[in-house]
């Protein structure tokens, strides 16, 4: 059973990034597994790409007007999460006392994002981003191809993990 504080943290994060995703300003959403020393060990990435109009970075990623139903989108995401869950055998074991963070990378021309709530955006440390860090293993999980958007999911694994790694 998941701790209620974790559930609330994830629910709050999802509600904050929903407008950014809907407006097409989000490049990726990630869960980063961190060592006790805050060193990134794994990064689970959902990279979002709008297919409606490649010339605009502010294309809505809504399923309204789409041929896809909400249930269809949920089924694709569920399949992706199941594949992510099953990939544990492909990754090295993490050291004890790990933690995690959730992050959203937005297109540079979209910063600061226009949201309904006043949010203090905190830039991630470079090594916590998709482009930063020293990633030794790249595991492709699934690409979800819809008529209005595409989602690539993959895992980045640090080059050194385990006991004694700082």
Q: What is the pLDDT of residue 158?
A: 86
pLDDT of residue 133: 66
Q: What is the CATH number of the domain that holds 48?
A: 3.30.900.10
> Is residue 28 in some structural domain?
yes
- Asked whether residue 24 is domain-assigned, the answer is yes
pLDDT of residue 68: 65
Cβ 103 vs Cβ 112: under 8 Å: no
Is residue 144 situated within a structural domain? Answer: yes
Q: Within a domain: residue 164? A: no
Residue 165 forms part of a structural domain: no
Number of domains observed in the structure of the chain? 1
Per-residue pLDDT tens listing for the chain (166 residues): 567 888 898 888 888 888 888 777 888 899 999 989 888 899 999 998 876 544 444 444 455 555 667 787 788 888 888 888 888 778 888 888 999 889 888 876 656 555 566 666 676 776 666 676 678 888 888 888 877 778 888 998 987 665 545 5
d(Cα 108, Cα 97) in Å, to the nearest integer?
Answer: 34
154 and 131 Cβ atoms separated by less than 8 Å:
no
20 located within any domain: yes
d(CA 35, CA 127): 13
pLDDT tens column, 37-62: 888 899 999 998 876 544 444 444 45
Query: The pTM is what?
Result: 0.76
Distances 147 to 8, 20, 40, 62 between C-alpha atoms, Å: 32, 19, 34, 11
Distance CA 32, CA 30 (A): 6
Which residues constitute the domain of residue 138? 4-158
The answer to whether position 166 is within a domain reads no
């Amino acid at each position: 059973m998941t701790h209620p504080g974790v559930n609330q943290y994830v629910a709050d994060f999802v509600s904050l990034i929903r407008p950014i995703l809907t407006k097409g300003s989000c490049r990726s959403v990630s869960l980063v597994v961190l060592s006790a020393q805050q060193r990134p060990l794994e990064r689970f990435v959902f990279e979002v790409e709008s297919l409606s109009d490649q010339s605009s970075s502010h294309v809505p990623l809504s399923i309204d007007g789409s041929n896809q139903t909400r249930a269809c989108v949920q089924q694709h995401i569920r399949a992706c999460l199941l594949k992510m869950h099953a990939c544990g055998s492909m990754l090295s074991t993490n050291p004890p006392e790990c933690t995690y963070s959730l992050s959203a990378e937005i297109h540079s021309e979209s910063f600061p994002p226009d949201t309904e709530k006043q949010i203090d955006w905190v830039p991630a440390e470079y090594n916590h981003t998709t482009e930063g860090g020293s990633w030794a293993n790249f595991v492709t999980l699934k690409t979800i191809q819809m008529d209005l958007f595409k989602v690539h999911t993959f895992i980045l694994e640090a080059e050194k993990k385990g006991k004694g790694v700082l």
